[in-house]
Structure 1
């Protein structure tokens, strides 16, 4: 577990921003901002650089999230979509930070960005939630399921997101998208990815619901209150769209199958002693909150989730090679995710 401020450090050289220009922007667009501005960076992310802004006159803190520098893959690092969906969800019962400012111009600090308030809380990289008691862990996992169901219950049209994605055909588009992204970032031959690209289209379910989907729903993107198992913010919406809600559920459940130290693993969990629910119990909690009776071809949803992560991992690896991201995890993990996807698809 880390307090949000524990992840703060100096701005990485490749992500440096024009502090003077950003100070001027904040004075013009943030109510009550007096300046001068100080800037630090949240460490640990490999996608959209995220910064802590502090108004030294008032000690008010803000968070800025921006696109990374350099050439970007098509449709990746969509900070505009993050801003739009969180702004739309603000009036709902989905816990998201307020959106304070959006700048779509690259001229201020080099790439588009948005600003939101700083929210104090706890973020867990590991699914074990090590510092919680067993009752709090059970409550936390119930929150994971209930908040996900709340996201999926929002009517996109009612919050201005009718055009946020296309209804129907979600998995067909997603398989095609992540195939393109993988091929655009390929640095080596991964036979399992080739098999998945051939097999996944034929396994796509014939029907499915269309809701708002987060796209990266996992414990590391969910912030708990400082002293309670209560989610106060759902973060990192860059992959959000309109799609099949079971894609979010399967993605969250991958830790039960993915025994990677950088992702978290259920291999060492004593479910009864820790209060962490088994996969079937968690899925049942979600289904109860979402009003679902059953899930067809769960293996497909899990296999696709791992396939998509393989494509994402390949993109991160390519960005490390080009110097646009730091190497946090060593070797390319795309091969491991692809091998897991094949096993999951086979049930």
Structure 2
């Protein structure tokens, strides 16, 4: 297993007009972070040097032309582009969106090739990054395509994990999107990730209802009675501890969420509003279901404070910590699983 400082954390720089570069620099201003991992930032040494001066950062930059040249224990910056970048904090700019994509594309390629071990993404502007090469609602869908995986957005802290049945789907389309197949797929992803990535041997999962009061027996919509309940019952009968649907309006306020290892919300705001209310600034977005580890902070570009040196970097720092933890847990899980299979084959 890799020693701590040899775990290479690939970092896509996100929207340069937002707070991404600030939170990256602030995270690694603490030299102890370089003992924990080796950061590999995909941008350009010239751009990062400009931003370093802007934020009065004392980080020493190690510029490299390829992630394979990254040096352990250094703040490595891969030169993805050579040209000058015009940074205008707080402004939406398609040109900046292009640089955000180039950073993400290069970081993803390095992750595929094993040149970095995990990926932590700084926030993008989902509008300005759109192009012929990027036609996705966000990072999650892009990475699912790149890694041919079934992804699930999972918001995590040490004590709270909230996944989504549907993520960046318009509210008017949510009910139609939720099918028995989708429920089974998402529950299976979260069940597996709780075991292999979070070391929970017997995961206990709660699922929130689609309609107010989970439909009140069909009075307020029939989806919970006709789709959600029978699907969850089928999965319980197959051995998974998955319960619900629970009425979303009282689930978090009552503290019921503390009785479960993870909660699956029916749609984006149903899950993320309570999650961010309970944990804003310390939460992490983890893309479960992929063969590689990707995390990000639980916030966006924050244009309103960009360039003012006011951004709180703790969620990004937690995203780095969580990516490393999940990487280690997954490696241990693979090793344990391999050993079990070897013992079983010997008995045969």
Q: Same fold (TM over 0.5)?
A: no
Which structure would you say has the larger Rg?
2
Give the TM-score, by structure 1 length: 0.24
TM-score (norm 2): 0.24
Q: Which has the higher contact order (CA 8 A, sep 6+)?
A: 2
